[in-house]
Amino acid sequence: MISTVGIMNSRTNLVGRRPTEIGELLAPHVDREFRGRQVARWIIDRNATGFADMTDLPLSLRQNLDRHFSIEEPEILEVIESSDGTCKFLFGLSDGVGVEGVSMREGAKATFCLSSQAGCAVGCIFCVTGAIGSGRNLRPDEIVGQYRAMLRRLDPDVERVNIVFMGMGEPLLNTGNLGRALEVLFERVSPKRITVSTAGILPGIRWLAALEKRPKLAVSLNAPDQDRRQRIMPIARRYPLVDLMASLRAFPLERGRRITFEYVLIDGFNDTEDDARATARLIHGIPAKVNVIPLNEDRDHFPELRRPAAVVVDRFAAGLRDRGLTVTVRWSKGEDVAAACGQLRDRQLER
């Protein structure tokens, strides 16, 4: 007796593949060339979950394709909704690994926070994901699959979706898979509505700069000097601040684009008016905006770190604005379900 499990596992997954790649894979199995484009549009544009959905294809063709190909994405194991409407998703991958993603709603707009790795080796001391340690890179189907799964759960009145790679992992340590995933996501989401955030991986920034189509770039800064930055971001020892800033000054920006600097405010560490002045001097001349992020506290992983008082946060932001910078204070959403910035963890692993 032949195991059906073996047959199912031998099928080629079409999620996370570009339209041309889908067409090439399907070519030996279709009667006409345009069938490959039809299937690609069903998967990418219409978010189809199976060949049975593709009603403009002959039934016999759908059945044949189903024998050779699959349309698979990470399984949603758990969804936890915050009091502010933010939803945190726990995704189960085919090898038993779990990753988390977040969907945030603001009026008619939603933002999906996607993971690029299962864990993170960068080890920023204010980030819970870093406490998990390193994990494997996610494949393109696992990255794009998070988007597909969250899109399916979205309210129909949402008119626009933005994507930020600020979930689990350091995206620019997974450029091969990230690049392939971006090409697929660009089919539905404009590059100007996709942001890749990095702790400052210089080879990855150079890779991003060389792309023909580029998402927006966000950089986790968090201190205006090398000494303090490397104390809370160990990766800064390998990629010093002076080299990072030189790379960012050379980064190509399309008209109207800016580099986003993310600055996590930690009480008594990097939150003074002098720090605001030093930060403004550091990024002077770079088209930029600054996201000021009051620390999301975690008593289990970094009990000694505290969030500054609101008056301190406002004073720091004002110090940046007074020096001509565009500033947003990002009071993170989803804190009550550990979905806020720096809080993502694999809850399945914790259990």
The residue from 87, 113, 124, 341 that is catalytic is 341
Which among 151, 149, 179 has a CA at the least distance from the CA of 165? 179
Three-class DSSP category at 140 = helix
Out of 72, 100, 142, 262, pick the active-site residue: 100
- Whether 341 sits among the annotated catalytic residues: the reply is yes
SS3 131: helix
Angle, CA of 249, 252 and 257, to the nearest 5°: 95
**Residues 4-43, buried b or exposed e (16+ Cβ, 10 A)?**
eeeeeeeeebbbbbbbebbbebbeeebeeeebbebbbbbb
Angle at which helix 19-26 crosses helix 34-44, to 10 degrees, equals 130
Strands 160-165, 194-198: pairing kind? parallel
81 is catalytic: no
The CA–CA distances, whole Å, from 171 to 43, 51, 208 equal 24, 31, 11
Q: Give catalytic residue positions.
A: 100, 341
